[in-house]
Copies of this chain bind each other. A is one copy, B any other.
Amino acid sequence: MTSNDARLRERAAAVVPGGMYGHLNTAIFTPGFPQFFERGDGCRQFDVDGREYLDFMCSWGPVVLGHRHPRVEEAVAAQQSRGDCLNGPGPIMVELAELLVDTVPSADWALFAKNGTDATTQALMVARAATGRATVLKAKGAYHGADPWCTPIPTGTTEANRADLIDFAYNDLASAEAAADAAAGDVAAIIVTPFKHDSFADQELAEGVFSRGLRALADRVGAVLILDDVRAGFRLDLRGSWETFGVRPDLTAWSKAIANGYPLAALTGTDALREAAASLYTTGSFWFSATPMAAAKATIETLRDEDGPARMARAGTLLRDGLREQADRHGLAIRQTGPVQIPWLAFAEDTSLERAACWTAACLELGVYVHPWHNWFLSTAHGDEDIAAALERTDIAFARTAARFGAA
């Protein structure tokens, strides 16, 4: 019998190039992923064939409190009943900007947009306006969005789109210093993610010497330090993901988890960059809509009131410890990298991802949604019992993987 998913894929193939595109395109995953989804509830998602998943991707980050969170939905409904896209912002824009300034020590102001890419692109513009320079230093392979200047697959872009960018190696301060030297006084900005979360590779936490060194380097060459907290923001530390290092960026780009799935991005920055930020012209038809801002305020307040990062750390630690015990017991060598709230699991000696594909497919079949080559995401909706239920199934998936590939 043809599944609903298969029927939708066939219809999509006729009216969407390639049938699907972007980061949710299952054609670029390993086999076994459903493409179309019907419903979300807490930490569970349901595909169009009624299959239920304990979800560890959280829609690739946005859903940080779980689907249909009452406090967020209530704020959304209240705002929607009054107005959303109007001739100007609502009071909620001011309230949300105030909340960000109160929450994030490096934030003296906020601008809002729709895509994470909007915020990282705006960040470059603010830095260039402030410094009158062009060059931006970035870590090789880091994802900063999908605008022509940063899309990881350069098809359809020109060399000019990627002009004035110099790569350094993540966690390698000397390479960043060399990049700055290469720019010979023209460094407008250093843009960096709070940890290394490149796809297909072990995640790497930032070293203190690297994060503090980038701060010092930016200061020394008169450049703007941009933290791209789009992926990690609001999961590790509500104050910003480098606050634990005592490193405060000049600009921070936010999106994904900011509004529990409602479309919003933000750029926050320091007083020193306020005038430069005010000198730009960036805008969008829906950037001032009130509903996603109401969702963001409710989301951030809930994360604050419930100590969301700590709850996610608890769930992520239970998951990591459980997976470790299971893999050891099945004689499978794995690496778990990144912060526990944004984890990833890789199998040793698995460069062609055969073990990962096998394990992931088994997890999906058993109703656990994980990804073979992109980091996962926890939410505050993942309770102890959800992690326990997921681990019952991952244990079976490990058994199947061990049966096929033997002890690693």
Q: A residues within 8 Å of B by Cβ?
A: 4, 8, 11-12, 14-18, 20-24, 26, 33-40, 45-48, 53, 55, 57, 59-63, 67, 82-91, 93-94, 97-98, 100-101, 108-111, 114-118, 121, 124-129, 134, 146-149, 151-153, 155-158, 160-161, 163-164, 230, 255-256, 261-263, 269, 274-289, 292, 369
- Residues of B near A125 (CB, < 8 A) are 148, 155-157
**Nearest chain B CB to A4 CB, angstrom units:** 8
Contact of A22 among B38, B261, B288 (CB under 8 A): B288
Instruction: Write the nearest CB–CB distance from A215 to chain B, whole angstroms.
Output: 22
Residues of B within 8 A of A98 (CB): 11, 14-15
Q: List 27 A-B contacts (CB under 8 A).
A: A8-B94, A14-B109, A15-B110, A16-B93, A16-B109, A17-B109, A17-B111, A20-B89, A22-B282, A22-B283, A37-B88, A38-B91, A40-B85, A45-B86, A59-B285, A114-B263, A115-B118, A121-B148, A124-B156, A128-B156, A148-B149, A155-B281, A160-B163, A230-B285, A261-B286, A263-B285, A263-B289
Q: Which of the residues B85, B134, B163, B282 comes within 8 Å of A146, measured between beta carbons? A: B282
Beyond A111-B21, A121-B147, whether A16 also contacts B280 by CB under 8 A is no
Q: Which residues of B contact A61 (CB under 8 A)?
A: 285
Give bound CA distance, A321 to B298, whole Å: 47
Complex Cα–Cα for A84 and B40 (A): 8
**Residues of B close to A82: CB separation below 8 A:** 38-40
Please tell me if the beta carbons of B126 and A369 are within 8 angstroms of each other in the complex: no
Which listed residue, B22, B36, B97, B283, touches A281 by the CB 8 Å rule? B22
Could you list 12 further interchain pairs (A-B, Cβ under 8 angstroms) beyond the known A37-B90, A115-B118, A125-B157?
Answer: A11-B94, A21-B111, A24-B87, A36-B94, A62-B285, A85-B261, A115-B284, A124-B156, A128-B158, A151-B281, A255-B285, A263-B263
Residues in B neighbouring A269, C-beta threshold 8 A: 17
Name the B residues within 8 Å of A21 (CB-CB). Answer: 111, 277-278, 280-283
Q: Is the CB of A55 within 8 A of B87?
A: yes
> Considering the chains assembled together, what is the distance between the CA atoms of A369 and B87 in angstroms?
9
B85 close to A286 (CB less than 8 A): no
CA distance A362 to B57 in the complex (A): 54
Closest to A107 in B: B15
State the CA gap A158–B131 with chains docked (Å).
12
Kindly state the separation between the CA atoms of A280 and B23 in the bound complex, as whole angstroms: 12
Of the candidates B37, B89, B90, the one whose C-beta lies within 8 Å of that of A83 is B37
Residues of B within 8 A of A33 (CB): 88
A97's partner among B16, B114, B146 (CB-CB below 8 A) is B16
- Enumerate chain B residues within 8 angstroms of A134, measured Cβ to Cβ: 158, 160
CB-contact partner of A89 in B36, B100, B275, B283, under 8 A: B36
Query: Which residue on chain B has the smallest CB distance to residue A133?
Result: B158
How many angstroms from the CA of A263 to the CA of B30 in the assembled complex?
31
Residue from the list B36, B59, B91, B281 in contact with A152, Cβ < 8 A? B281
Cβ A155 vs Cβ B38 within 8 A: no
Separation in Å of the A116 CB from the closest CB of chain B?
Answer: 6
Cα–Cα, bound, A98→B8 (Å): 11
Cβ–Cβ < 8 Å partners of A153 in chain B: 280-281
State A274–B19 Cα separation when bound (angstroms): 10
Bound: A155/B282 CA distance, A: 10
Q: Which 8 A-B pairs have the closest CB atoms?
A: A22-B283, A125-B156, A18-B278, A85-B261, A160-B163, A153-B281, A263-B286, A17-B277
